[in-house]
Amino acid sequence: MTTPIEPEQRTSVPMMKWLWSEYLSHHKGWLAVAVVLMVTEGLTFGSLSIMMQPMFDRIFVGGETGSIWLVGLLILAIFLIRAVTALGQRVIMKYVSEKSGAAMRSDLMDHLIGLDTAYHQIHPPGQLIERVQGDVQALSGVWTSLVTGVARDFVAVIGLFSVAMWIDWQWMLIAMLGIPVVVIPSFALQSFVRRKARIAREVSADMSTRLDEVFHGISQIKLNSLEDYQAKRYQRLMKRRVSTETEASFGQGLMSSTVDIMAGLGFLAVIIYGGSEIIDGEKTVGQFMSFFTAMAIAFDPLRRLANIAGLWQAAAAAIDRLLDVFDTKATVVSPPAPVLPPMDAPRVQFDNVHLNYGELPVLNGASFIAEAGQTTALVGASGAGKSTLFNVLTRLVEPQSGKVLLNDTQIETVALDALRARISTVSQDAALFDETLRDNILLGRTDVDDDQLQATLTAAHVADFLPNLPNGLQSPAGPRGSNLSGGQRQRVAIARALLRDTPILLLDEATSALDTKSEAIVQSALDTLAQGRTTLVIAHRLSTIQNAHKIVVMDQGRVVDEGTHDALLARGGLYADLYRLQFRDGKQVSEQPRRPRKATKTYKADQPKRSFLARLFRRPAGS
């Protein structure tokens, strides 16, 4: 796991150290080989310019035919060395870049998965995907150029300048007159480039979020004719990306362009000064050509070196964003010395639980007991806090105060994975993965034999629909289980829960999106599943919970009544009102299908408070 750096300390040196110690130092050996190859390649630049002198003075001007082969073969040898060293270092750098990128992605993935649910509710999937994929890509692409630049180009420039100095140090000084033209703007441009690179990374993240939303909500987009609207939203982001990327590239390009201006000024000065020395016979043509070649070759690596500051700023922008993620710590964690949770179906007790989402109070002192091995139903208006109670019990969210106990064990004293291993949840939106049905049910388990699997499929009524699938259990479920119907997905979720065989079972409107026939099948599977477990059920259709051992009635985050169906009806409170609205003369009068659950709920501060019944039977907008 990587060590983060505080935002105020994220200057270049600590960031480079972080990159080195966390990801690159593991590849020291390969990097050393690559650097040797780069240095060798860098030295060939200087050697080539040195060869210009004998080529001109001995062969072209001096007419020494005997030197033709020697000089020619030496130049060939230099090019061969370049070919081998360039290829070797390129492959090594690619390997190290991919390996370190993979390590970084894996760390990010581990870290992100461990962060609180609240973090994931604030940061949409597209943004997080862009961090794991895009930011790491941007970074690993840049740092290889940095290493190559520093090792090969730096050595090349030093070698070439040494050759130039050796020929004539005065020419060299004159050629360097334009250096301030490079150095001064380079400093000024750095923060500009970093700012633009960071914005570009943010825009890329927004683009991924938009795509994620569009492709996940494709049916809704089509049904509501939102194609143009969504396309325009995406186009606006692309427009922004084009402008920020262009600006960042302008900043980077400007740094290397200044090298050309410096080169032009340098050559002008050397020709004016050195030209007359050659005409006067003080220097040979070979010396001038050697000097000229050294300087001409040097400007290319020099231009790349001038670009390094810009490249680093782009890398720093990506590192900064990655460190933001690594800096975030999970708050819902296992205790340092966890105790074991009860093995058998426990009594579950909520004791005066208070929870706010931001400013919004959601649970206001909720207290009740779900007896061991019995079924307890939670009913109440939409938004009363029923699902939040499930999230508190599974520690997806932490209450501000109050206790949740399994028998006498407080859930915070239990290790997170041990707690969650005691609980199975079946909800309206069964999360299926893009794998076969078999894999979706087994979820990586290898200890389930064929008989056990078959019995589970039968009990969960999965066996009923298997013959209709082209490859039975081996049929792909499709992305998010899209190849299956809602009822089939729920039966898969029940099969999973049966296999998990946990003492606590949470059913969150598990049958609410189903037609009457599917509901009857799923309900029968759920009844089998609930046997011998402490079961908590959230249901809007009161017909499904009349046989519960206890019904807990919730309103505005607190328990307002509890008892059996008959006792609650006899008391004539909220439950009785609800029941009368759904049933008349023992017959169901309103079959109110529940809207699909939203992935993330957002609180609207200006939402007026509505009465219990009005909220329960609210109409969809526009109806």
In whole angstroms, how close is the CB of 398 to ligand ATP at the nearest point?
Answer: 13
Q: At 559, phi and psi to the nearest 5? A: -85, 125
Candidates 61-69, 104-112, 164-172, 386-394; binding stretch for ligand ATP (CB under 6 A): 386-394
Residue 169 interacts with ligand ATP (CB under 6 A): yes or no: no
In whole angstroms, how close is the CB of 621 to ligand ATP at the nearest point?
Answer: 15
Candidates 218-226, 356-364, 463-471, 475-483; binding stretch for ligand ATP (CB under 6 A): 356-364
**Smaller CB separation from ligand ATP, 319 or 353:** 353
x/- mask, ligand ATP, residues 70-109, rule CB under 6 A, reads: ----------------------------------------
Query: Alpha-carbon distance 313 to 12, whole Å?
Result: 8
Q: Who's near 511: CB < 8 A, 6+ residues apart?
A: 490, 518, 519, 522, 523, 526, 539, 541, 544
**Smaller CB separation from ligand ATP, 74 or 330:** 330
Residue 388 interacts with ligand ATP (CB under 6 A): yes or no: yes
Residue 385 interacts with ligand ATP (CB under 6 A): yes or no: yes
In whole angstroms, how close is the CB of 221 to ligand ATP at the nearest point?
Answer: 24
Residue 536's H or E segment, with its range, is: strand 534-538
In whole angstroms, how close is the CB of 257 to ligand ATP at the nearest point?
Answer: 50
For residue 578, CA distances in Å to 163, 180, 261, 477, 587 come to 93, 82, 82, 38, 14
**Smaller CB separation from ligand ATP, 41 or 213:** 213
**Smaller CB separation from ligand ATP, 56 or 390:** 390
Residue 399 interacts with ligand ATP (CB under 6 A): yes or no: no
Q: At 466, phi and psi to the nearest 5? A: -60, -40
Residue 119's H or E segment, with its range, is: helix 117-122
**Residue from 24, 362, 366, 537 that binds ligand ATP (CB under 6 A)?**
362
Q: Helix, strand or coil for residue 355? A: strand
Which one-letter DSSP state was computed for residue 618?
Answer: P
Query: By 3-state DSSP, what share of the chain in percent is helix, strand and coil, each rounded to 5?
Result: 65, 10, 25
Query: Under rule CB under 6 A, how many of the chain's residues touch ligand ATP?
Result: 14
Query: Alpha-carbon distance 55 to 70, whole Å?
Result: 10
x/- mask, ligand ATP, residues 308-347, rule CB under 6 A, reads: ----------------------------------------
**Smaller CB separation from ligand ATP, 383 or 503:** 383
x/- mask, ligand ATP, residues 48-77, rule CB under 6 A, reads: ------------------------------
Residue 27 interacts with ligand ATP (CB under 6 A): yes or no: no
In whole angstroms, how close is the CB of 397 to ligand ATP at the nearest point?
Answer: 8
In whole angstroms, how close is the CB of 112 to ligand ATP at the nearest point?
Answer: 17
In whole angstroms, how close is the CB of 591 to ligand ATP at the nearest point?
Answer: 16
In one-letter notation, the amino acid at residue 108 is: L
Query: Alpha-carbon distance 550 to 394, whole Å?
Result: 21
Give the DSSP letter string of 177-198.
GGHHHHHHHHHHHHHHHHHHHH
In whole angstroms, how close is the CB of 396 to ligand ATP at the nearest point?
Answer: 9
Residue 384 interacts with ligand ATP (CB under 6 A): yes or no: yes
**Smaller CB separation from ligand ATP, 355 or 529:** 355
**Residue from 47, 67, 121, 475 that binds ligand ATP (CB under 6 A)?**
121
Residue 159 interacts with ligand ATP (CB under 6 A): yes or no: no
Chain centroid to Cα 404, Å, comes to 32
**Smaller CB separation from ligand ATP, 149 or 383:** 383
Are the beta carbons of 315 and 139 closer than 8 angstroms?
yes
Three-state SS for 466-531 is HHHCCCHHHCECCHHHCCCCHHHHHHHHHHHHHHHCCCEEEEECCCCCCCHHHHHHHHHHHHHHHC
**Smaller CB separation from ligand ATP, 219 or 600:** 600
Query: Alpha-carbon distance 578 to 542, whole Å?
Result: 8
In whole angstroms, how close is the CB of 394 to ligand ATP at the nearest point?
Answer: 13
Tell me how far apart the 2 most distant CA atoms of the chain are, in Å. 121
**Smaller CB separation from ligand ATP, 99 or 601:** 601
Query: Alpha-carbon distance 384 to 367, whole Å?
Result: 14
In whole angstroms, how close is the CB of 600 to ligand ATP at the nearest point?
Answer: 6
In one-letter notation, the amino acid at residue 281 is: G
Residues 592-621 that bind ligand ATP (CB under 6 A): 601, 603
Q: Who's near 76: CB < 8 A, 6+ residues apart?
A: none
Q: Helix, strand or coil for residue 538? A: strand
**Smaller CB separation from ligand ATP, 479 or 593:** 593
Q: Who's near 248: CB < 8 A, 6+ residues apart?
A: 193, 196, 197, 200, 314
Q: Who's near 43: CB < 8 A, 6+ residues apart?
A: 155, 156, 159
Residue 123 interacts with ligand ATP (CB under 6 A): yes or no: no
Q: At 478, phi and psi to the nearest 5? A: 80, 165
**Smaller CB separation from ligand ATP, 263 or 384:** 384
**Smaller CB separation from ligand ATP, 46 or 383:** 383
**Smaller CB separation from ligand ATP, 205 or 506:** 506
**Residue from 30, 192, 357, 617 that binds ligand ATP (CB under 6 A)?**
357
**Residue from 283, 303, 321, 386 that binds ligand ATP (CB under 6 A)?**
386
Reading the block at residue 32, the tokens are 């050393």
**Smaller CB separation from ligand ATP, 391 or 440:** 391
Residue 387 interacts with ligand ATP (CB under 6 A): yes or no: yes
- Kindly list the residues in this chain that would bind ligand ATP in the complex (CB under 6 A): 121, 357, 360, 362, 380, 382-388, 601, 603
